[in-house]
Chains A and B, each alone.
Chain A
Amino acid sequence: MAKNEVRNQIRRLRFENGEMTQQQLADKAGVTRQTIIAIESGKYAPSLPLAFKIARTFGMPIEDVFQYEDEDSQSSETSLYA
């Protein structure tokens, strides 16, 4: 079975945005701090509306904040460049 994973750049973006705390980001996105922690560590994949809210908080397009990766796409990319 292919392993699907949503990677994110939230941690890096928080520090680039004036060292924003998890609580500040949570307040802006309308979620709890625990949810931000879970998203940052990759334990929870947010819903599409929440992903958009987080991306808008950083003023960036969603694909700059979240990246979807699965084994199939990785292997096809590898074979393309081989």
Chain B
Amino acid sequence: MNKTQKSALFSLINFLLLIIFSINSTKVIRDVFSPEGCPNALKIVLFWAFLIFGFMALSAFLLYRRKQSSAEVESDERDDLIKKRAVLICFISVWFLLITSYAILWHIVGLNGSIPLCILPLIYLGVFFAVILVYNVAVLIQYGWGCKDGEK
């Protein structure tokens, strides 16, 4: 795996961990404000914090390892092409997701209906997260998940 591929894989894993953490944390917050409370709240949050920051530290260590030789390059024309294509896919995804979400909203509330103002920033935030996911997946798919390495 080269640096671009590793970077995409690590950000994808970190992103998925953050999503699971967010889902978990909403549950913890709900429990904290419930009459029974949540005695394990601190433990749960600390576990996730260590997991996420630990993985981030491991990613940084693996990404910025010392080169095997001084002539070894970190990225080349193929990596640039893969990144360029991934950005193009992201651009298409942004338009697709925005138009789809607006069409769904229009379908739900109708032509003369109204939506709360907070929905729009939430849509943009959702699209932003989706685009990060799409970018990393697009990069990994183009590299063939790194399983097609030949013999050395």
Are these two chains actual partners, yes or no?
A: yes
Seen from chain A, the residues whose Cβ lies within 8 Å of a Cβ on chain B are: 21-23, 26-28, 30-35, 37-38, 40-41, 43-44, 46-47, 50
Decide if A28 touches B2 in the complex (CB within 8 Å).
no
With contacts A23-B68, A27-B72 known, is A32 near B150, CB below 8 A?
no
Residues of A with C-beta under 8 A to B150? 22, 37, 40-41
- B75 at the A/B interface (Cβ < 8 Å)? yes
Interface size on B, residues (CB 8 A): 20
Decide if A22 touches B78 in the complex (CB within 8 Å).
no
Decide if B152 touches A34 in the complex (CB within 8 Å).
no
Task: Report 25 cross-chain contacts, Cβ distance below 8 Å, ordered by A residue.
Answer: A21-B152, A22-B150, A22-B152, A23-B68, A23-B72, A23-B152, A27-B72, A28-B71, A30-B71, A30-B73, A31-B76, A31-B78, A32-B74, A32-B76, A33-B2, A34-B5, A34-B149, A35-B78, A37-B148, A37-B149, A38-B78, A40-B150, A41-B150, A43-B144, A44-B78
Q: How far is the CA of A58 from the CA of B80 in the complex (A)?
A: 25
Chain A min CB distance to B51 (Å): 30
Q: How far is the CA of A35 from the CA of B79 in the complex (A)?
A: 8
B1, B72, B150: residue with the most chain A Cβ atoms closer than 10 Å: B150
Decide if B148 touches A41 in the complex (CB within 8 Å).
yes
- B36 at the A/B interface (Cβ < 8 Å)? no
Residues of A with C-beta under 8 A to B148? 37, 41, 43
| Mask of B78-119 contacts with A, CB within 8 angstroms, 1/0 | 110000000000000000000000000000000000000000
